[in-house]
Amino acid sequence: MKEEKILQEVATYVEQRLSGEGSGQDWWHIVRVQQMAEKLALAEGGDSFICQLAALVHDLVDDKLVADEGLALAEVRGLLTRAGVAADQTDQVLTIIQAISYKGGSQNHLVLSLDAQIVQDADRLDAIGAIGIARTMAYSGYHGRAIHDPEVAARQNMTLEQYRSHQGTAIIHFYEKLLLLKDLMNTKTAKDLAKGRHAFLEAYLEQFYAEWEGKA
C-alpha cells in the first residue's frame, strides 16, 4: 500500500511537470512506459516498484528537456525523498535513469542491472511501432525538422554531440535510431514485442517511399 501511494504521489508531480509538453516526451509517454515497465518486470522477475518509479521520473533528467542534468538529478532525488522512498531505492532509481538514455547509441556499451534493462526496454518500445512513428513526427514538427529530404543521409557511430547537433529529418531518424532499437532490446519479452513494432516501421517506410515517388 505504501508503494502504491508513493507511485501515485510521484506520478502526480510528473504529470504536472510535463503538462503541455509537445515534443512527444509528454505525460502519456510516461504512462505508457510505466505500464510497460510493470509488464516487463512481472515477466522477467524485476522489481516492479523500482522499475515503475524509474519509468515515472526517467524524462525529468533527459538532456533534451533539461538544461542542467545535475540539477535535474538533485530535483528527482528530492522528489523521491519527500515521497518516502528509501535512500537505497532512490540511489537505484537515479542510477537507472542516468544509464538508460539512447543518446545516439553512445551509452549502448553500459552494463545494466535487470531493472535498468527493463526500464530501458519499456522506454525504447515506446519509440517504435505506431506510437514511435507518431512521436517522431511530433518531435520533428515541434523542432521545425523536415519530414524528408532525399539528399540527407543517415549517420553512424556518432558521438552524443554529433547526434544532438545535426537537425536531420523525421525519416532519417528512423535510420539513426528507430530501426536500430529492435536489436538493442535486453529482455526476451521486449525482444518479442519489438518484432511486431519493427515490422510496422518497415511497412510504413515502404508505403512512405511509394507515395513520395508517386507509385502508390
> Is 90 exceeded by the pLDDT of residue 50?
yes
C-alpha cell at 108: 549502448
Q: Are 193 and 44 in contact (CB under 8 A)?
A: no
Cα–Cα distances (Å) from 114 to 55, 63, 186, in that order, read 14, 24, 9
CA distance 16 to 22: 14
pLDDT digits (tens, 9 = 90+) for 134-159: 999 999 999 999 999 999 988 887 66
**CA-based diameter of the chain, in Å?**
59
Give residue-wise pLDDT tens across range 70-86: 999 999 999 999 999 99
| pLDDT in the model for residue 165 | 63
pLDDT for 105: 55
- How far, in Å, CA of 34 to CA of 25, rounded? 13
Please name each of the domains of the chain with its CATH number: 2-212 (1.10.3210.50)
Would you call 98 exposed, middle or buried from its count of C-beta atoms within 10 A (0-12, 13-18, 19+)? middle
Are the C-beta atoms of residues 58 and 33 closer than 8 Å to each other? yes
pLDDT score of 176? 93
**DSSP letters spanning 146-193:** -S--TTPPP--S--HHHHHH----HHHHHHHTGGGGGGG--SHHHHHH
Cα 17 from Cα 34, distance rounded (Å): 16
